[in-house]
Chain A
Amino acid sequence: MPEITYFSPDGTQTTLDARDGDSVMETAVKNGVKGIVAECGGACACATCHVYVDEAFTDAVGEPGDLEDDMLDGTAAERLPNSRLSCQLKMNPALNGLTVRIAPKQI
């Protein structure tokens, strides 16, 4: 199972085994990781699961889709080049060891 490490805004670090195919958002929410709100449950409808992806994984995660790209313009915390909506990042073996920093403000 691919491993993800989350850095929450309060400084907590959490490492979890993700189920293959679950999103980075789902893995966080199901396990109670603080900081990801994910109001819409992964429908790319709310922009409240904003994370900054470690640059070592830029190629592995790929580019955001058009809709996600538009939604990222509306995030509450600053959008950076490595900003993603974590509901759109599906875990797979290539993402083993992924590290994300959770945006300090989601709403």
Chain B
Amino acid sequence: MDGRILIIGAGQAGMQIAVTLRDEGFAGEVTIVGDEAYGPYQRPPLSKAYLAGNSDVESLELRAEHFYTDQAIEMVTGETIVDVRLGEPGSSDAGIATAASGRTFEFDRLAITPGSTPRRLPIEGADLGGVLYLRSLADADALKKRWTAAENLVVIGGGFIGLEVAAAARTAGKTVTVIEVADRLMARAVSSTTSEFYHGAHERRGTRVVLEAQLARIVGDAGQVTGVELAGAGAAKGEFIPADIVMVGIGVIARGELADKLGLDNINGAIVVNEYAETSDPRIVAAGDAVLLPHPLGHDGQVRLESVQNAVDQAKVAAKTLIGIREVHRAVPWFWSDQGDLKLQIAGLSTGFDQIVERGSQESEKFSVLYYRDGRLLAIDAVNDPIDYIAVRRALDTGAEIPAELAADSSVALKTLITSREA
């Protein structure tokens, strides 16, 4: 099969689409266009190893430069696509994408992987120098630039990114305060059991955590941040917290401009796709953070997943769809978050659980939480416990079960309890 495939978006998903096309034997033209100055790179280390100085730009590369040349994949960086016109349905007309620079790209089939962008904080002082977000390599470099001299760090948002940066800052000897509007940490990702453990663990290590906190404003001097002022109810009302850096990690939103331009069905910018990664226009596939996909384990509903695993697995499906291979993968969603010496590994989606089984001991900071619904295994949060994590991931992968009543006995290895699901 030949023809020209254009991939708009040079993140993990965009790169994986190109790689899978070649792996599957596609011999036509493959072009990836990204708006950043670099080719595809790993984002997860930006809030972890990169910040701690344990990795550099070259080590973040997802593929060496020569790989793209060897595979005849054209990698175009630093170009923002501002307009896309599709060929007439049923005709052999090519589509044309136009970049802000005026450069054009003709294509026969199109994949879009727009990714996501940090949710901005709509508050007085949010545009001061030193109020930072963390999504791209450029963001990470801006953070690193201030890092060494900074003594006080305020993190707004107690999710993965915020807590990872908080842990790195505390490890580097800084005074750290985490401000969270919800009544618990990582509320969207884990149950209150795991939230409460992390709250305690971060405090034991010297990070201050303020829950149910409302911000009045960010305070600055000569254009640079000097601290934050709290508002609202609660003990901390009106308090001023000094800060050399304010790190904002309050979630991400899908980059929806392209979907709008192409008239694709989307919800708040998140592009709706089917199990084949097809958008509402069958000529276009989409993958990655900006996509709303059917639950990947066949449960009801649609989900938007912000993870490397989802970007990779969905990109493989999208690439196959582009070349006419109808194949749906059953993909177990999984996530991890390294917060200092606490490794959180999550497999499955715990949404809708009605039962929890806890194993190990929170005191020793090595434990896991298994989630069930109607007696059926849904997910695990594993803290410094890769053995339990792997067992659950494997069970979910094969559609097997780990009976809740047996899992409660921590002295028994989970992998010995995996049983096939009854028909």
Contact = CB atoms under 8 A, between A and B. Distances in A.
A21 to B, nearest CB: 7
A107 B330 CA distance: 13
Interface residues of A, number: 23
Contacts of B309: 39
Given A32-B67, A39-B312, A45 B336 contact: yes
B387 A30 contact: no
Interface in A57-97: 67, 70-71, 73-74
A52 B67 CA distance: 25
A19 B58 CA distance: 10
A3 interface: no
B67 A31 contact: yes
A19 B59 CA distance: 9
Contacts, number: 66
B70 A32 contact: yes
Contacts of A45: 336, 338, 343, 345, 386
B253 interface: no
Contact of A41 (B45, B391, B394, B415): B45
Contacts of A22: 59
B48 interface: yes
B64 interface: yes
28 contacts: A21-B59, A29-B62, A29-B63, A30-B61, A31-B63, A31-B66, A31-B67, A32-B19, A32-B70, A32-B71, A39-B312, A40-B44, A40-B308, A42-B45, A43-B44, A43-B338, A45-B336, A45-B338, A46-B336, A67-B343, A67-B386, A70-B385, A71-B390, A73-B387, A73-B390, A74-B386, A74-B387, A74-B390
Interface of A: 19, 21-22, 26, 29-32, 39-47, 67, 70-71, 73-74, 107
